Amino acid sequence: MEGERMASLTPDTPCSCDCFVSVPPASAIPAVIFAKNSDRPRDEVQEVVFVPAAMHAPGSRLQCTYIAVEQVSKTHAVILSRPSWLWGAEMGANEHGVCIGNEAVWTKEPVGEEEALLGMDLLRLALERGSSAQEALHVITGLLERYGQGGSCREDPMPFCYHNTFLLADRTEAWVLETAGQLWAAQRIREGARNISNQLSIGTDISDEHPKLRAHAQTQGWWGGQGTFDFAQVFSLTQQPVRMEAAKARFQVGQELLRQQQGRITAEVMMGILRNKESGICMDSGGFCTTASMVSILPRDPTQPCIHFLTATPDPSRSVFKPFIFGVGVAQAPKVLSPTFGAQDPAQTLPRFQTQVDRRHILYQGHQVALGLMESEQVPVCSSGGDGCGRGLDAARGSPAPGGLGPPRGCISPALPSPLPGRLPTVQTVRYGSKAVTRHHRVMHFERQKLMALTEYIPPKFAIDPRCLPPPPSPPQEVLSSGFQLMVTLCATEQNTG
């Protein structure tokens, strides 16, 4: 019987994700810090979607990925990182400072291929309806009880189904929610650091649970009914597949990385953990990889805004985390929206997923171009000061920067003439494995990040007193509603100027 439940777990099954949270005093600042790597099929595109708060008519229905559910009267504004073919999300946050990430998990409870709510649907529904981590948890468990979870979780004719675990955080605390079918157990984290990685991790420290959880385990013969009840031990598969054993190793490494930084955890530390390739946390193996990443800072002071950093591109070690803050006038950044295909979408037509479509958004395409240049070693040596310039692809193509500002300062390339007057050529040395960009205090163009990660910046010397030079031209004025939209616009500029 257990072998049948594991039938869908082939050696190439993409079943790896990692979520992290730090609650003071583990954090270096008075804030909860949340982070997630979403590991999905290599060619899958994740888009970043902003959905404003809304009011809904009584009795209205909401279409999720596969099924429709009853809509509530009011939904919160959310920012989501999601596979572009489905309705739900792999990770996201809402206007009240609630963040959620999910993980695939397989237990002794059978996984059904019948279409129901995906774990990613549950995640988005919880963000839209929950104003705290605990309230969002109750949203998920209530929907599980009513609609169940099931259906294929990837864009492929071969069904790929799993149950889910969730890490939920807000400004004050975090919760781990682990499910087995419609059953579940939850653990509250009031302080310290915690991570989850594609396996059951709640043992005897259960803060809340499904009312029939223990009775069901006893009926199935998994627990004798006496003594300590260990959720992970009772519901985990007896024979773990190879990929889940790998998840166990990642979970242990993640624990150790958090332990080493106890009391000093910041957003930069979390970004460094998400970029860790040696442990497999930054996944790049076989048919799948880390397709998107997210880090959030949730200050305990309610007067301070929460800041959410999202990549919208694969491989956090070669991507920039772009900031997003909820506020008045926030709007969707169009360059991270995938194209839509309406009724012709292979995810909507039956049978599903019989054809493939190109879902790449503008930023994703620019990211692929940049990676191709880097891998072919065609990116010019570049350094830059604190002037916020550094559009690597413009330099590589010899094209002017947007607004006619000319080449970036300090860039040296065969495609460009000498540096701007008053600047001497700079000297470059290689610095392997640098995380220089995570220590920068100003936003950086994603091309500059990649170049700075491979070069050591040595400031140029002024050949002429700067006071003798004309002032630099003013950049074109453009109204952007958020830091995230600004960063996306900068990152995607090459598609318009190339």
Residues labelled catalytic: 17
Give the pair of three-digit tokens for residue 364.
């994703």
Comparing C-alpha atoms, which of 415, 417, 426, 408 is closest to residue 472?
Answer: 408
Question: Do 156 and 14 touch, CB atoms closer than 8 A?
Answer: no
Q: Treating both helix axes as pointing N-terminal to C-terminal, what angle do 362-375 and 483-491 enclose, rounded to 10 degrees? A: 50
Instruction: Tally the C-alpha atoms within 13 A of residue 179's C-alpha that lie toward its C-beta.
Output: 28
In degrees and rounded to multiples of 5, residue 15 shows phi and psi of -130, 55
CA angle 220, 211, 15 (to 5 degrees): 65
- Beta bridge partner(s), residue 285: 288
DSSP 102: E
Containing 21, the helix (H) or strand (E) segment is strand 17-23
169 three-state secondary structure: strand
Which residues have CB under 8 Å from 370's CB, separation 6+?
379, 392, 393, 446, 447, 450, 494
Question: CA 22, CA 27: separation in Å to the nearest integer?
Answer: 6
Start-to-end Cα distance in the chain: 57
Instruction: Give a three-class secondary structure readout of 301-343.
Output: CCCCCCEEEECCCCCHHHCCCEEECCCCCCCCCHHHCCCCCHH
Question: CA 88, CA 106: separation in Å to the nearest integer?
Answer: 20
- Beta bridge partner(s), residue 309: 295, 323
Comparing C-alpha atoms, which of 336, 382, 292 is closest to residue 484?
Answer: 336
